[in-house]
Amino acid sequence: MSEETIRNYYAAFNARDWDGMCALLTEDVAHDVCQGGRQAGRAAFRKFLDHMDRCYRESVRDLVVMVAPGGQRAAAEFDLDGTYLSTDAPHPAARGQKYSLRVGAFFELRDGRIARISNHYNVADWLAQIR
């Protein structure tokens, strides 16, 4: 179930099915934004997705999912291909720049749902690609 949950999460991401993604989360999900703060709750995560959808068009490829014994923790590694659509201050102006990043994501799972998401990627590399 754990690997399937993570794979379904990224399938929904690639389909831009934000409701489907959120349905896989616990109500109190913790979302650790890369080099940012922690957001709490499904509503905050949905707001984050809506913001990202306005500013970026992204897709995941070459997904690898690893699940710890017991199924309560998982990790994923993938390539994220994107287009910077709308300026996301304080970042540089958007001009349709393309980018590709290697991302690591870490999950805690509870009762078949995702209770924590922590995403990590090289922000300096991303900034260099969109400048």
DSSP conformation letters of the chain: -HHHHHHHHHHHHHTT-HHHHHHTEEEEEEEE-TTS-EEESHHHHHHHHHHHHHHEEEEEEEEEEEE-TTSSEEEEEEEEEEEE-S--TTSPPPSS-EEEEEEEEEEEEETTEEEEEEEE--HHHHHHHH-
What tens digit of pLDDT does each residue of 98-113 get? 999 999 999 999 999 9
What tens digit of pLDDT does each residue of 34-71 get? 878 899 999 999 999 999 999 999 999 999 999 999 99
Top-tier CATH class for 2-130:
alpha beta
The pLDDT of 6-12, averaged and rounded, is 98
pLDDT recorded at residue 1: 67
Mean confidence (pLDDT) of the chain? 95
Does 126 score more than 80 pLDDT?
A: yes
